[in-house]
Amino acid sequence: MSDCSLTPADPGFSVSSFLQTPFLTDMYQLTMCYAYWRGGIHNKKAAFELFFRKCPFKGEYAIFAGLDTVLRFLEKFHFSDSDIEYLKTIIPHAEPEFFEYVKGIDGSCLKVYSLREGTMCFPSVPLLRVEGPLAVAQLVETTLLNIIGFPTLVATNAARMRHVAGPEKTLLEFGLRRAQGPDGGMSASVYAIMGGFDKTSNVLAGKLFGLELSGTHAHAFVMSYQNMKDVKNRKLRRNIKKEIASSSSSSSSSSCPSLEESISSEAEEVDFVELVLSIKSRLGIDGTQEGELAAFTAYAISFPNGFCALVDTYNTLKSGVPNFICVSVALVECGYEPGSVRLDSGDLAYLSIKSKEMFREYAEKANCEKLKEAQVVASNDINETTIVALNEQHHQIDVFGIGTNLVTCQGQPSLGCVYKLVELEGSPRIKLSDEMGKTTLPSRKVAFRLHSSDDRPLLDILVRVEADDTFKAPQSGEKVLCRHPFVESKRCYVIPERVEQLHSCVWDGRCLMEKRYSCVEIRDYVNAQMNAQREDRLRIINPTPYKVSLTQDLFEHTHELMMECMPIPVLEM
């Protein structure tokens, strides 16, 4: 069993753990805690459910994230001596016994049921169910909402961008400098990867979570060079690793030197500056900015295996791309890959198409077929809508670098999760509202996902948990009546081929998760679910809603309680 220990090498390490204390809460949680205690009901057995009412980004799904951080929080949830001293200053009239009670509170008295992290989820389906003493289960509300809301929003945003970009494109998270503070930046990097991105520019996230990093250079690097004389280190060693590996495989290992020894002894150094200039002359490329060419040359010497040139400092097509081509062809002639250009301004679709045309044109002129493999990276305030527009223009971008609109969730700043009491001492609780969408579903519930014969999700159905913690699960191959939560006429039968239970107990005074999933493992899980969904539910314009239904038993239970709790008005003349 996992012990939830806090270790940076652990894929679940929480970057904001020092902030996750019982005081990461709203004042009214503490005042309610005192009032519960003062009223003698603080130890009543309660059940709360955390869910959202409406999907983000005008879509019809979300990607649940933040569970691992929830478990970290519960593992160390307790009030320190300094917390108690501060609590005495903000509730000064409280009895000494109350502070003794608070000092003894920790996470061992709680039980938490949850979806698996990375699960595609829908309105009204509980993301978490928290059971325990009323006062303690209430105390964790704000922290859990904070821990779940932003991660779920970022993971959903990333999944949507992955979907519109397509599985073959590489997505890079570039948002640290635009994020809401260090914690926002770290959280966004992690949950963007979970949602479907490939790499991040955030070095600390790479170190702590083992994420793949990606980075090139800024305009400042290009502007730091004026001419080729500024390139002080002119030499580049040829890459003959492939040739040596090929010849070694057909020779006796006892008579051949090691690959490393062969490279160090046989690979010659070339004057890369002279090579670039000779290629430029051979290709007849004139009028480009020499400082830019020098910068690209210097960068290629430093990173010949990962050369990416930012080409819009002066003029993308008249200078940046031609200069890149000269350096790229030189790299290929030295045994390296051709690298990529990065477009950071202008008409990205047009520039990507023209760049690829120039790669093909000069590949013929230089007799360098490899140049056709050079990639185009695009950045510049890209969001989901931008990618869709680029798709319509038949862009030729291979890699998207997305920052601000990903990590700040430009399309929707908050998920709007809520945390509602659904049961107290075995008695159901319901919140009524004039807005039917804000009426809560009473009692503890467990969700099941019903799958069709081709293993696509048909709908989620909520089942009531009985007082003895048992529930009647739908069975594969058996007809299930599925009811709309509030509209009596909306109902259907489903005969599922497969039934998937979505909730499991992840905390019972200690962490019960046997496996900690890495960001990459969760990303694979998200991708699998996205691929299994019907396309009309994923589209960005007028997506088809996914059904969340109730069993007949829960439907009747809910409506009986609504009638019981709803005041009957008296009409007066």
Q: Write down all domains in the chain, each with its CATH number in brackets.
A: 17-159+411-565 (3.20.140.10), 164-242+264-407 (3.20.20.70)
Q: How confident is the model at residue 11 (pLDDT cuts 50, 70, 90)?
A: very low
| pLDDT value at residue 20 | 82
**Contact of 492 with 482, CB cutoff 8 Å:** yes
- Which pair of structure tokens corresponds to residue 536? 């009309």
The Cβ of residue 509 has, within 10 Å, a number of other Cβ atoms equal to 13
- Which pair of structure tokens corresponds to residue 509? 């005074």
- Which pair of structure tokens corresponds to residue 468? 């003895």
Helix, strand, or coil (residue 452)? coil
pTM across the whole model: 0.92
| 147 closest CA partner among 208, 71, 75, 59 | 71
Q: What is the DSSP string of 396-418?
A: ---EEEE-HHHHTTTT-S---EE
Q: Is the dihedral of CA 152, 158, 162, 168 positive or negative?
A: negative
pLDDT higher than 80, residue 256: no
Helix, strand, or coil (residue 451)? strand
Buried b (16+ CB within 10 A) or exposed e, 74-108: bbebebeeebeeebeeebeebeeebbebbeebbbe
Instruction: Over range 550-565, report the average pLDDT.
Output: 95
pLDDT higher than 70, residue 12: no
- Which pair of structure tokens corresponds to residue 439? 């009426």
Using a pLDDT cut of 70, give the percent of the chain over it.
Answer: 92
| 546 closest CA partner among 460, 437, 418, 463 | 460
Between the alpha carbon of residue 332 and those of residues 278, 304, 370, 479, the distances in Å are 14, 10, 7, 63
β partners of residue 482: 492
Q: How confident is the model at residue 18 (pLDDT cuts 50, 70, 90)?
A: low
pLDDT higher than 80, residue 6: no
414 alpha-carbon distance from chain centroid = 15
Cα–Cα distance for residue pair 14/6, rounded to 1 Å: 8
Q: What is the pLDDT of residues 204-251, one digit of tens each?
A: 999 999 999 999 999 999 999 999 999 999 999 999 775 454 445 444
| pLDDT value at residue 17 | 63
Q: What is the DSSP letter of 233?
A: -
- Residues 84/88/91/96 CA torsion (nearest 10 deg): 90
| pLDDT value at residue 261 | 46
The lowest-confidence range among 254-268, 333-347, 430-444, 532-546 is 254-268
pLDDT higher than 50, residue 65: yes
Q: Is the dihedral of CA 72, 75, 77, 82 positive or negative?
A: negative
Q: What type of residue is 90?
A: I
Cα–Cα distance for residue pair 336/496, rounded to 1 Å: 54
- Residues 437/441/445/451 CA torsion (nearest 10 deg): -40
Q: Measured in Å, how far apart are the chain's first and last C-alpha atoms?
A: 68
- Which pair of structure tokens corresponds to residue 135? 């006062």
**Contact of 156 with 121, CB cutoff 8 Å:** no
Question: Who's near 93: CB < 8 A, 6+ residues apart?
Answer: none
| 1 closest CA partner among 505, 570, 339 | 505
Q: What is the pLDDT of residues 416-473, one digit of tens each?
A: 999 999 999 999 999 998 888 889 999 999 999 999 999 999 999 999 999 999 999 9
| 458 closest CA partner among 379, 381, 547 | 547
pLDDT higher than 90, residue 57: yes
Question: Who's near 171: CB < 8 A, 6+ residues apart?
Answer: 158, 161, 162, 165, 196, 197, 198, 199, 399, 400, 402
Cα–Cα distance for residue pair 59/197, rounded to 1 Å: 19
Instruction: Over range 239-265, report the average pLDDT.
Output: 50
Q: What is the pLDDT of residues 489-547, one digit of tens each?
A: 999 999 999 999 999 999 999 999 988 899 999 999 999 999 999 999 999 999 999 99
Instruction: Over range 376-396, report the average pLDDT.
Output: 96
